[in-house]
Amino acid sequence: MENQTSSKGIILNNGLYLGLIGVITALILYAMGKSLELQWVSSVVGFVATVAFIIFGIKQYKDANGGFISWGQGVKIGMGIVMISALITIAYTILFTTVIEPDFQAQAMEVQKQAWIDQGLSDEQIEAAADMAEKFQGPGIASAFILAFSAFIGFVISAIVSAIMKKSENDGY
């Protein structure tokens, strides 16, 4: 395996496409006026796309590398794809919440407060929860959460896919 394929292009292309799918999904929901009500759709599409692009990227590398890939190479490719996508998501989130829809956080908080009222929380509990939630709404905290969550999900998916797809020159099958 001295003549291994470079993974850089595979990571960049698949990460870019994955990030664009997330942005396009979010923009479609925004254009429909359903960003707050159908946020779960964006999550489902994002998860399915993440799994698909990690599998596709690892398979691309394996095929380009003569059918061989180690677990570590697979995890590196999967994590790279997810982290490129996360950077695109962070850029979009900052653009969305500062330029496109600056009052989105306030709208989301109103929806959440109504959910708390429906759950039967007292006014004091709602106020305390809202105060706590506001501390986590800045772009820096949101970016950190996006990176951390993406890294965790990306690692889990990449580790599983890599364990299934790994094949070294020493494997006898």
Q: What is the pLDDT of residue 171?
A: 60
% of residues, the chain, pLDDT over 90: 55
Counting other chains too, the contacts that 64-67 makes at CB distance below 8 Å and 24 or more residues apart are 64/5, 64/10, 65/1, 65/4, 65/5, 66/1, 67/167
pLDDT tens string 76-106: 999 999 999 999 999 999 998 889 888 887 7
The pLDDT of residue 173 is above 70: no
Confidence of residue 1 (pLDDT cuts 50, 70, 90): very low
Q: What is the pLDDT of residue 160?
A: 96
